[in-house]
């Protein structure tokens, strides 16, 4: 990827906290591949974010390599994009420290993800969980990214990254690009199949709540059949029908059909038929990803070649950013 092109820059990351869910796919990764022609794309497996909650080291290593292979299987081309593992580029952590000095305690305290995860992991409310959004700001600002494709759950963190960039620019003179969110119109927040008031999450303890993108067809159909809906039997998008609204959104993204078209397609039919159709559409859509993944994951040398080259390219960009930032804040030049 040419580093000096006129194209705008995109950055996005995903945590290797487990197999990606249909939520990660619809809200984020599905949109990343098509952006590769129009933008300079930088995509990262953000393992440093993952350790904000307790991880088993061997499992994290395995999940990280698997997540990298999945990224490529979902259409990220390491020749057209920079695809790397976050901990391979130490500049993110260095910039994060500088940015933390332009971040207020109060604004971090307001982050809903911090509140939710502190409840979920009450025995380990560590400082990393609290400062997670500063590292995310560093991930983005290190590349002066113009655009950040994310699901709706990350909107608040991106807003904070924008505030941090603005505050730094005010203190030290215009430097960082203030990034814009790129949130899909449909599927920005895919909900749990078991509790449609909650977002679908990799780390959900109930495996029936999530579709993992490596689930086989039978598993996918079984999970959709068990999805929580409501007691009437009309397939239509309406307030109070959270479960059906979620399934309709998923079906709409998978098939390209509008919500009205879906309502007509299933008029007079029961939820059973609808759930089966959603399951089949999702399984068929994900089939090529599963096939590609099973090829890639066996080729460890190829993966290593890709993530090493990715980290080198990422480091070339961020070293320049960091040395300018160090100069701006008043650090003495080391050379
Ligand atoms: N349910 C969702 N609907 C739409 N988009 C989603 N994303 C996550 N869940 C949904 C988007 O996926 C991208 C990567 O997310 P992440 O792995 O960095 O962190 P997360 O948002 O915390 O995802 P999970 O699955 O909930 O992970 P865990 O369980 O480990 O916390 C982001 O762009 C996110 O918006």
Q: Which residue bears the tokens 């996005």?
A: 12
Q: How many residues does the chain have?
A: 335
* Whether residue 199 lies in the annotated active site: yes
* pLDDT tens per residue across span 262-293: 999 999 999 999 999 999 999 999 999 999 99
pLDDT in tens, 118-157: 998 999 999 999 999 999 999 999 999 999 999 999 999 9
pLDDT tens-place string over residues 90-116: 999 999 999 999 999 999 999 999 999
Say if residue 84's pLDDT is above 60.
Answer: yes
> In the 8-state DSSP scheme, what is residue 323?
H
Q: Are 286 and 75 in contact (CB under 8 A)?
A: no
* Eight-class DSSP state of 26: I
Report the alpha-carbon distance of residue 175 to residue 320 in Å, rounded: 12
Query: Which residues approach ligand 1 with their CB closer than 6 A?
Result: 13-15, 17, 21, 23-24, 26-28, 150-151, 153-154, 188-190, 199-203
257 labelled catalytic: no
Q: For the whole model, what pTM was predicted?
A: 0.94
Ligand 1 atom nearest to 190, measured from its CA: 3
Give yes or no: 320 in active site.
no
Q: Ligand 1: which residue has its CA nearest to atom 18? A: 14
Residue 55: is its pLDDT beyond 70?
Answer: yes
In the reported structure, the alpha carbon of residue 96 is separated from the centroid of ligand 1 by a whole-number distance in angstroms of 21
Nearest of 29, 286, 75 to residue 182 by alpha carbon: 29
At 187 the pLDDT is 86
- Model confidence band, residue 2 (pLDDT cutoffs 50, 70, 90): very low
CATH architecture observed for domain 217-293: Orthogonal Bundle (1.10)
- Domain spanning 9-187+300-329 has what CATH number? 3.40.50.620
State residue 4's pLDDT score: 52
In the predicted structure, residue 223 carries a pLDDT above the cut 80: yes
The predicted-structure confidence for 144-194, as pLDDT tens digits, reads as follows 999 999 999 999 999 999 999 999 999 999 999 999 999 988 888 999 999
pLDDT per residue as tens digits for the range 224-268: 999 999 998 899 999 999 999 999 999 999 999 999 999 999 999
Lay out the sheet containing 147-149: strands in order across: 82-85, 40-45, 9-14, 147-149, 180-182
What are 335's two structure tokens? 């050379």
**Residues 202, 223, 241, 275: which is the catalytic one?**
202
Distance of alpha carbon 46 from alpha carbon 185, whole angstroms = 25
Question: Among 28, 70, 133, 245, which residue has the most ligand 1 atoms within 8 Å of its CB, making it the best to mutate?
Answer: 28
In the set 59, 117, 217, 324, the catalytic residue is 117
pLDDT of residue 186: 85
Substitution candidate for ligand 1 out of 13, 23, 132 with most atoms within 8 A of CB? 23
Domain map (residue ranges) of the chain: 9-187+300-329, 217-293
Q: How far apart are CA 165 and CA 177, in angstroms?
A: 7
Distance 270 CA to ligand 1 centre (A): 31
Mean pLDDT score, 303-326: 98
C-alpha distances in Å from residue 139, one per residue of 43, 125, 235, 271? 10, 22, 41, 43
Going from the Cα of 22 to the center of ligand 1, the distance in angstroms, rounded, reads 10
Q: Can you tell me the distance from the alpha carbon of 161 to that of 139, in angstroms, rounded to the nearest whole number?
A: 10
């Amino acid at each position: 990827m040419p580093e000096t092109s006129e194209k705008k820059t995109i950055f996005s990351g995903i945590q290797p906290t487990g197999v990606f869910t249909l939520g990660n796919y619809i809200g984020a990764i599905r949109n990343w591949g098509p952006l590769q022609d129009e933008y300079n794309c930088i995509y990262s497996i953000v393992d440093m974010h993952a350790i904000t909650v307790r991880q088993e080291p061997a499992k994290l290593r395995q999940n990280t390599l698997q997540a990298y292979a999945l990224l490529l299987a979902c259409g990220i081309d390491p020749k057209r994009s920079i695809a790397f593992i976050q901990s391979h580029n130490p500049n993110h952590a260095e910039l994060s420290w500088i940015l933390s000095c332009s971040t207020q305690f109060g604004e971090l305290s307001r982050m809903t993800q911090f509140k939710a995860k502190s409840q979920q992991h009450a025995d380990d409310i560590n400082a990393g969980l609290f400062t997670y959004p500063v590292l995310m700001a560093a991930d983005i600002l290190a590349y002066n990214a113009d655009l950040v494709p994310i699901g709706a759950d990350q909107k608040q963190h991106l807003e904070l990254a924008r505030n941090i960039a603005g505050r730094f620019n005010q203190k030290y003179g215009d430097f960082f690009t203030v990034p814009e969110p790129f949130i899909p119109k449909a599927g920005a927040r895919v909900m749990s199949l078991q509790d449609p008031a909650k977002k679908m999450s990799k780390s959900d303890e109930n495996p029936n709540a999530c579709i993992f993108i490596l689930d086989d067809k039978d598993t996918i159909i079984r999970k959709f059949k068990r999805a929580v809906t409501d007691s009437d039997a009309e397939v239509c998008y309406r307030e109070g029908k959270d479960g059906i609204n979620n399934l309709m959104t998923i079906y709409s993204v998978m098939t390209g059909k509008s919500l009205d078209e879906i309502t007509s397609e299933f008029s007079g039919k029961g939820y059973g038929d609808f759930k089966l159709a959603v399951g089949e559409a999702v399984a068929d859509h994900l089939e090529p990803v599963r096939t590609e993944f099973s090829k890639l994951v066996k080729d460890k040398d190829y993966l290593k070649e890709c993530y090493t080259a990715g980290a080198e390219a990422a480091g070339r960009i961020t070293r320049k950013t960091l040395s300018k930032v160090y100069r701006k804040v008043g650090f003495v030049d080391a050379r």
